[in-house]
Amino acid sequence: MTVRPLIKRLAVVGALALPIAGAVALTPPVEAAKSKQDALKIDLDVKDFTLDNGLRVYVVEDHSTPAFTINITYDVGSRDEVAGRTGFAHFFEHMMF
């Protein structure tokens, strides 16, 4: 590649980059949250109930799309193991998925 086409390409890239840089510079800064609590505050209409078998269920309805999400959390882990019988929580973790 000779010098002239290279200079031409650099001029085109520079001409395109300058308006973008100007637009970014003129964009007003976003106001930061007053505290971490304000930043994390989410107002959801959570319905919770417990089934007869003890399973706790939390439901948040959102009809904006025809989809659903399910999360399953097991309230047990290695903290519940006794000395001499360790590793079962890790084993069951792999067996459940």
The neighbouring-strand residues paired with 57 are 49
What are the strands, taking DSSP E only, across 3-72? 46-50, 56-60
Q: Are 48 and 59 in contact (CB under 8 A)?
A: yes
- 24 in helix, strand or coil? helix
Pairing of β 56-60 and β 46-50: antiparallel
**What is the predicted pLDDT for the residue at 23?**
73
Judge if pTM exceeds 0.95. no
Catalytic residue among 31, 61, 81, 93: 93
pLDDT at residue 33 in the model:
61
> Where exactly are the structural domains of the chain?
3-29+38-96
| Catalytic-residue membership of 93 | yes
Q: What is the pLDDT of residues 45-84, one digit of tens each?
A: 899 999 998 888 999 998 899 998 888 887 777 887 888 8
